[in-house]
Amino acid sequence: MREVCFPIAAAVAALFVAAPVAAQYVAVPAAKPAAKKLPLQGVVWRCGEYNCAADRTTSRPDTVCAAFVRKVGRVSSFTAAGAPLDPTALEKCNQSAKN
């Protein structure tokens, strides 16, 4: 009886565990930001060891990228909704960085 109850209990418990929400934007800064949280234009970026992530905003990806780069510096990649910026758009974004 115990062998049957445990799998059922585990399955029921799994229904109540929230699935993680994928970030809308992911940036890989050339240099690690000093702060773990960066509020930029109404979006809070959460930064880890290698990248920073933010939830959805109403701004276009190139605008979000430029705002991030102005605050943090150049990025080696920037992804919006799972699609990376093409090399031309990424270079244009990086031109927003403070020198």
Higher pLDDT residue, 10 or 79?
Answer: 79
Confirm whether 11 is domain-assigned: no
- Indicate the pTM of the whole model: 0.75
pLDDT, tens digit (0-9, with 9 covering 90-100), for 16-67: 333 334 689 999 999 988 899 999 888 899 999 999 999 988 889 999 999 9
Given this model, what pLDDT does residue 75 score?
97
| Total domains in the fold of the chain | 1
Residue 54's contacts (CB-CB under 8 Å, 6 or more residues apart) are 23, 24, 25, 40, 43, 44, 45, 46, 64, 68
User: Is residue 25 included in any domain, yes or no?
Assistant: yes
Q: Give the per-residue pLDDT at 99.
A: 63
Amino acid at 84: P
What's the domain range around 27? 21-94
State the greatest distance between any 2 C-alpha atoms of the chain, in Å, as a whole number: 68
45, burial (CB in 10 Å: exposed 0-12, middle 13-18, buried 19+): buried
Nearest to 43 by CA among 28, 19, 23: 23
Q: Give residue 57's pLDDT.
A: 83
